[in-house]
């Protein structure tokens, strides 16, 4: 590796000179990363940071898992194919066989697997397009504080005003409804049911109802099991496809492989990306009930629909972490550790709320500036975190699911120290949603 040459004081770096100002994470986490292992990353000076961002949930099994790395290196060394469009390959066959046997079949899911473009927003676009094709309808119901990507169709379903303002064109085809808890004690499933049944409500019959069971970017808002089941029933009653966006909450992040597993329903379409490759390699899937797999050949395509290298690492990830219940048990135990330590921090911040589910958790500290100060203090002390919520007021933790307890405790010690050091300010929470600890 070539280490960047020293530069004169006040001389802009190559990143400042050449990379677009759209960059974001590096504005808080300002270092030049070089190596990583497990839950620890190192910059070019050798300084270590505990990584509780994990590629925004793309590294559920940590950095550079040795078994995935060995399989990928072996594939490369034997001249394994690196790109095959959507043609058949040995690597794709092995992945699909493993995914079927370890994920789909044990859960009674007969879904087909569509390989979309390599990002979550690509898979959301495919889901919306397919739902409209199946039903002949155009309207999609999405929810307040939902985040589904920033390509144009997915962006229409995304609630965040900052992102929605980017294209400077109207965003069509989505009706926004309040998520669980958004209106306090009002049951928003009841509200949706009433509007769907009322022919004068102005709510057009939907092609799909799109939701996250835990709203990651929206502020770690957690939908209750009863609300989720009601939404699933409403989708079925009104002939709309139920689409669960499990891009961030899936692949074990909430404790089970799919975030919806504990609630007694199976979506018509499921969107997966981020950690599905296991190694941080780009890949996205759309799972489709067979009766809705009505695409014409090539009707939804893309050059990178199916990453062969990701097939290799994803197969190993499934075999290593989902052949037994051990990882799920570890996530359940570590979730309790995180909840207990975050409750300690909440006691230090007036009005703070612990939020999330499983190892997708954090704390609403009441204001964006305070959360930003906490994040920056943590980074200075060797811990990488991010924020979420409409005002960036939620300090968000996404440590790898495999993070050893000692590293979790060390990171939470840093976070607790930062909470003590950053002065309290006036609260301006501005977020809502059911919260669990």
Q: What is the mean pLDDT of residues 112-127?
A: 97
pLDDT tier at 166 (50, 70, 90 boundaries)? Answer: confident
Distance CA 306, CA 286 (A): 11
pLDDT digit string (tens) for 7-31?
566 677 999 999 899 999 888 999 9
pLDDT computed for residue 423 by the predictor: 79
Does residue 432 fall inside a structural domain?
Answer: no
Whether 259 and 253 have beta carbons less than 8 Å apart is answered as yes
pLDDT in tens, 262-273: 999 999 999 999
* Tally of domains in the chain: 2
Torsion sign (Cα): 20, 21, 24, 26:
positive
Residue 42 makes CB contacts below 8 A (sequence gap 6+) with 33, 34, 35, 36, 48, 49
Residues 55 and 80 in one domain: no
Question: In this structure, are 176 and 268 located in the same domain?
Answer: yes
Same domain, 25 and 154: no
Average pLDDT estimate for 77-84: 97
Residues 182 and 91 in one domain: yes
Per-residue pLDDT, averaged over 89-102, amounts to 98
| 430 domain residue, yes or no | no
Q: Which of 166-180, 354-368, 423-437 has the highest mean pLDDT?
A: 354-368
Which range is least confidently modeled, 25-34, 62-71, 277-286, 316-325? Answer: 25-34
The pLDDT mean for the chain works out to 93
Average pLDDT over residues 297-324: 96
Q: Are 240 and 207 in contact, with CB atoms under 8 Å apart? A: yes
Tokens of 174: 């989505």
Q: Both 118 and 74 in a single domain?
A: yes
Q: What is the pLDDT of residues 168-195, one digit of tens each?
A: 888 999 999 999 999 999 999 999 999 9
Domain range enclosing 367: 14-64+326-421
- Listed in sequence order, the residues at least 6 apart from 116 whose beta carbon sits closer than 8 Å to its beta carbon are 122, 123, 125, 126, 284, 285, 286, 300, 302, 305
Give yes or no: residues 341 and 208 share one domain: no
Structural domain ending residue among the three candidates 321, 341, 367: 321
pLDDT for res 433: 34
In a shared domain, residues 36 and 80: no
Paired tokens of 1:
């590796």
* Residues 55 and 160 grouped into a single domain: no
Q: What is the pLDDT of residue 435?
A: 33
Q: 288, 321, 354 — which closes off a domain?
A: 321
């Amino acid at each position: 590796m070539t280490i960047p040459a020293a530069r004169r004081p006040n001389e802009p770096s190559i990143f400042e000179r050449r990379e677009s100002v759209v960059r974001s994470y590096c504005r808080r986490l300002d270092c030049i990363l070089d190596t990583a292992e497990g839950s620890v990353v190192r910059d070019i000076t050798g300084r270590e940071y505990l990584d509780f961002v994990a590629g925004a949930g793309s590294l559920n099994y940590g950095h550079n898992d040795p078994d995935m790395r060995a399989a990928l290196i072996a594939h490369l060394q034997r001249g394994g194919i690196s790109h095959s469009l959507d043609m058949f390959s040995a690597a794709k066959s092995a992945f699909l066989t493993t995914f079927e046997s370890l994920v789909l079949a044990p859960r009674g899911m007969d879904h087909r697997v569509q390989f979309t473009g390599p990002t979550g927003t690509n898979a959301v676009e495919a889901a919306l397009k397919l739902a409209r094709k199946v039903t002949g309808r155009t309207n999609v119901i999405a929810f307040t504080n939902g985040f589904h990507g920033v390509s144009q169709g997915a962006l229409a379903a995304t609630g965040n005003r900052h992102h929605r303002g980017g294209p400077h064109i109207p965003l069509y085809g989505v009706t926004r409804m309040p998520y669980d808890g958004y209106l306090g004690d009002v049951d928003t499933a009841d509200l949706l049911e009433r509007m769907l049944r009322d022919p004068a409500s102005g709510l057009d019959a939907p092609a799909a109802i799109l939701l996250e069971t835990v709203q990651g970017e929206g502020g770690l808002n957690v939908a209750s099991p009863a609300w989720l089941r009601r939404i699933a029933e409403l989708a079925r009653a009104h002939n709309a496809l139920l689409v669960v966006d499990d891009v961030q909450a899936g692949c074990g992040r909430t404790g089970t492989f799919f975030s919806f597993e504990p609630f007694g329903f199976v979506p018509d379409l499921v969107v997966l990306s981020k950690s599905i490759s296991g190694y941080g390699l780009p890949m996205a899937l759309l799972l489709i009930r067979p009766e809705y797999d009505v695409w014409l050949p090539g009707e939804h395509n893309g050059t990178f629909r199916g990453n062969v290298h990701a097939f290799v690492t994803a197969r190993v990830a499934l075999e290593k972490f989902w052949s037994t219940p051990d990882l799920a048990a570890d996530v359940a135990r570590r979730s309790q550790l995180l909840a207990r330590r975050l409750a300690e921090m909440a006691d230090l911040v007036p009005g703070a709320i612990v939020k999330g589910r499983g190892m997708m958790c954090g704390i609403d500290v009441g204001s964006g500036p305070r959360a930003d100060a906490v994040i920056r203090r943590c980074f200075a002390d060797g811990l990488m975190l991010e924020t979420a919520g409409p005002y960036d007021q939620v300090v968000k933790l996404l440590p790898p699911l495999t993070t050893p307890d000692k590293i979790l405790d060390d990171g939470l010690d840093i976070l607790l120290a930062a909470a003590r050091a950053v002065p309290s300010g006036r609260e301006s929470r501005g977020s809502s949603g059911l919260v669990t600890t």
